[in-house]
C-alpha cells in the first residue's frame, strides 16, 4: 500500500516513528512532512497529502499537527477527501468502517507516539463496511 504523510512542526517525531513502523510492514511512503520543530504552516504539508490521495497516487493519507484540527480542516477542503480526526484506535476503526475515511488526522499534542502508531495500524487494516454506510458517504461531498 502507498501512504502519503504530512506534518507540521508538532509532529516530526510522530512522523518518523509512524514511517519506521509502516516501512517494516512493507508499505511505500510519500513524505510531505517537515523534519524539524521550527514553526511552519500546516496547510503547506496537508494539501500535498490530499492531492496524493485524490489523484490515487496514494491509497491513504496521514496528517499530523498539534491539535489535528487545522490540518484536518485543510485536507477536508478537497472534494474527495474524508479526513477523520482520531485520538483512539476505536475512533480510527469507526472512521474507516462507517465513514470510509481516506486520511487520518493525528493530534500530536494529545496522543502518545505508541497511540498514534496503534491508530495508524487500525486505520490501514480496517476495511469500509459499505452497506447502509455507503449511501451516507455518497451524500458527504458537495458536488
Q: Which residues are catalytic?
A: 98
- The CB density around residue 83, as the number of other CB atoms within 10 Å, is 28
For 63, phi then psi, to 5°, come to -130, 145
Give the span between the Cα atoms of 50 and 63, in whole angstroms: 9
- DSSP element (H, E) containing 17: helix 12-24
Which set of grid coordinates corresponds to residue 11? 509532529
Task: Bin 100: left if φ > 0, else alpha if -120 < ψ < 50, else beta.
Answer: left
The rounded Cα 41 to chain-centroid distance in angstroms is: 17
The rounded Cα 122 to chain-centroid distance in angstroms is: 12
Amino acid at each position: 500500500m502507498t501512504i502519503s504523510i504530512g506534518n507540521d512542526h508538532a509532529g516530526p517525531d510522530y512522523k518518523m516513528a509512524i514511517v519506521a513502523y509502516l516501512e517494516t510492514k512493507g508499505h511505500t511512503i510519500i513524505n510531505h512532512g517537515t523534519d524539524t520543530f521550527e514553526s511552519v504552516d500546516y496547510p503547506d504539508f496537508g494539501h500535498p497529502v490530499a492531492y496524493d490521495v485524490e489523484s490515487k497516487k496514494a491509497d491513504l493519507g496521514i496528517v499530523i499537527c498539534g491539535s489535528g484540527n487545522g490540518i484536518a480542516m485543510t485536507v477536508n477542503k478537497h472534494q474527495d477527501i474524508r479526513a477523520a480526526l482520531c485520538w483512539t484506535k476505536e475512533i480510527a476503526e469507526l472512521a474507516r468502517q462507517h465513514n470510509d475515511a481516506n486520511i487520518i488526522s493525528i493530534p500530536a499534542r494529545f496522543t502518545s507516539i505508541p497511540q498514534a502508531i496503534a491508530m495508524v495500524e487500525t486505520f490501514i487494516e480496517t476495511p469500509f463496511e459499505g452497506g447502509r454506510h455507503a449511501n451516507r458517504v455518497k451524500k458527504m461531498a458537495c458536488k
